[in-house]
Structure 1
Amino acid sequence: MTELHQAAAARDYEKVKEILTQQRCCPNQKDIDWSNKTPLHWAADTGDTEIIRILIQHGARPCLRTEHGWTPAHFAAESGRLEVLRLLHSLHAPIDKEDSCGDKPVRIAEIYGHQDCVRFLKKAEPECQAYRKKAAQQGILLDDTDEEWEQQSKEHEENIVSGSNDQT
């Protein structure tokens, strides 16, 4: 866990700001000891919207996923952080991506009984998808895909398929 991960998890805004301003740590660093969580995942989990804002201002990518496919929106949904979900949505962050089990943040919010988050996500998901569609039509590139995670998922699926073919 980097110094930035620790500061974000501890909700230490001043420390996060100092680290980012001095460029001592990449805001997109994935922590392999914590399932590839980034500082933004920690901030979403703790519900600290100010830390989320400063991380994103310094290049944090809200589309990055943990090894199980969770985006910051999944962590916010699990913890019932409605303000975080609203902020992520206002920044056009992906709030509707499926994790490796096929669960979107709305499903995670349902599981944990965060009805306010469920209501918001059910309304926000179609808006998010419409924005992506409009951007694609206009040729605007969005940062809404974690390419590394997508590649690992593809390779994992190919290994499963080739493993099942080897057994026949």
Structure 2
Amino acid sequence: MTALHEAVALGDYDLVHDILKKGQCDPNDKDIDWNDKTPVHWAAGKGQSETVKLLVEHGARLCLRNDVGWTPAHFAAESGRLAMLRTLHALHAPIDSRDLYGDTPMRIAQVYGHKDCVKFLENAEVECRDYRLAAELKGIELDHTDEDWELKQEELLKSKPCPRKKDTKKCTKEGDSPIP
């Protein structure tokens, strides 16, 4: 865990600011000891909107995923952080991404009973897709893909049995989820 991860996990905005200002840590560093969580994952789960904005100002990517494909929006949804979901949406974070098991942040909010988050995400997911489509039509590239996680996911799909297929056939297409 980097000093930046620790400062965010502790909720110390001033320390986060100092670390970023000095360039001491990469705001996109994934902590392998904590399931590839980035500082933004920590801040999103704790509802630290101002810290997320500060991290983004210093180059943090909102599309990065942990080892099972959770984005910052998944962590915000899990903990019922409606204000954080609004912040992520305003920053054009991909809030409709599916994790390794096919769950979106809205599904995570449903599982944890965060009805206000579910209601918000119902509309926000549509707006997120519309924004992505409009950007594509205009030739604007969005930062919505975590290339490292995509490679890991591809390897998992190749190596794990697929529950939707008989015996030991591997998952090979989008929507197939491996058994963990």
- TM-score normalised by length of structure 2: 0.89
- 1:158 deviates by 1.8
Residue aligned with 2:168, SS: helix
Structure 2 gaps, min length 5: 162-166, 171-180
Question: Does structure 1 residue 124 correspond to structure 2 residue 128?
Answer: no
The residue aligned with 2:48 is: 48
Q: Percent sequence identity over matched residues?
A: 56
Q: How many residues align?
A: 166
- TM-score normalised by length of structure 1: 0.95
Separation of aligned partners in 2, 1:117 and 1:128: 15
The residue aligned with 2:146 is: 146
Give the alignment's Cα RMSD to 1 decimal.
1.6
Residue aligned with 2:96, SS: coil
Separation of aligned partners in 2, 1:39 and 1:119: 27
The residue aligned with 1:71 is: 71
Separation of aligned partners in 1, 2:132 and 2:111: 27
Separation of aligned partners in 2, 1:45 and 1:11: 11
Question: What are the Cα deviations for residues 11-46 of structure 1, in whole angstroms up to 9, with x where unaligned?
Answer: 100000000000000000000000000000000011
Question: What are the Cα deviations for residues 120-144 of structure 1, in whole angstroms up to 9, with x where unaligned?
Answer: 0001000000000010111100000
The residue aligned with 1:6 is: 6
Separation of aligned partners in 2, 1:108 and 1:20: 31
| 1:148-163 correspondence to structure 2 within 5 Å | 148-160=148-160
The residue aligned with 1:164 is: 168
- 1:165 deviates by 5.6
Question: What are the Cα deviations for residues 32-68 of structure 1, in whole angstroms up to 9, with x where unaligned?
Answer: 0000000000000110111011001100001000001
- 1:156 deviates by 1.6
Separation of aligned partners in 1, 2:20 and 2:169: 48
The residue aligned with 1:103 is: 103
- 1:164 deviates by 3.2
- 1:160 deviates by 3.1
The residue aligned with 1:62 is: 62
Amino acid at match of 2:50: E
Amino acid at match of 1:64: L
Separation of aligned partners in 2, 1:25 and 1:149: 21
Separation of aligned partners in 2, 1:91 and 1:109: 20
Residue aligned with 2:160, SS: helix
Separation of aligned partners in 2, 1:37 and 1:67: 8
Residue aligned with 1:164, SS: coil
Separation of aligned partners in 1, 2:169 and 2:10: 47
The residue aligned with 1:94 is: 94
